[in-house]
Amino acid sequence: MKLQNQTAIVTGAARGIGKEIALSLAREGADVLLASRDKEALEHVAHNIRDMGRRALVVRTDVSDEQQVAAMANSALAEFRRIDILVNNSGVVGPTVPLAKLSREEWDQVIAVNLTGAFLCSRAVIPQMISQASGCIINIASIAGKLAYALRSPYAVSKWGMLGLSRTLAQELGPHNIRVNAICPGPTAGERMQGVIAGRAKELGRPVEEVERTYLEGTALKRMVDPTHVAAAVVFLASKEGSSITGEAIDISCGFAL
């Protein structure tokens, strides 16, 4: 196993990409703290991890809440005694509207969860990683963090910000043998993407099938990303094979270039 005797925190682990990441880390030998606001869904993921013979700890966490994030990190240390891997995956889609129609509340919510959440979680684990002289932080950003994304301004800005955070932290933490990278998924199969498509179709007044086709045609492979492929990239970056990689933003996007 590539991650034997390691411990991980995965935020947004209740479903979708986060769930697949948590399960993949466990399959490779890691014990996992699962964080999300949906404790019931987390318990199902934890059950699957325990069936693999790994430890799983469920901590209901709103990553935009500083106190809850601190409690999450403390719970990981109390249970596992170390923190080797942090995957900042929690995120909200936010509205699909032109910026001129966007409310301050909508803007703040997306930035608070997607970007400030990654900052708070990273800050909470860094002291422990420094004391260990090792660690790996992986931020699940988006291809939207590299492109213009009309009608999705707060989401795009939050993901661009995650790339800046990743590269800056990589420089700060490299001397402590801590690596920081970002993964940028493109359109990824699952309920969340279907919700994004439906929201865009409604805003544009177009059929859902037409909008979905636009996303597919924007990829070189003419299909959506399998969430397990994002999880496989996380495992690679967290493993010994990825130990020379830091400060990078790796696309898992089926060649999305819209």
List phi, psi (to 5°) of 11: -90, 155
DSSP per-residue string spanning 39-50:
HHHHHHHHHHHH
List phi, psi (to 5°) of 91: -170, 155
- 18 Cβ contact list (under 8 Å, min separation 6): 10, 11, 12, 36, 87, 89, 90, 140
Residue 185 to residue 189: CA distance in whole angstroms: 11
Residue 235 to residue 29: CA distance in whole angstroms: 11
Length of the chain: 258
Helix/strand/coil (H/E/C) assignment for every residue in 210-244 = HHHHHHHHCCCCCCCECHHHHHHHHHHHHCHHHCC
Specify whether the CB–CB gap between 12 and 188 falls below 8 A. no
Q: Does the active-site annotation cover 155? A: yes
* Residue in 155, 160, 215, 256 annotated catalytic: 155
CB atoms within 10 A of CB 52: 13
Instruction: Report the catalytic residues.
Output: 155
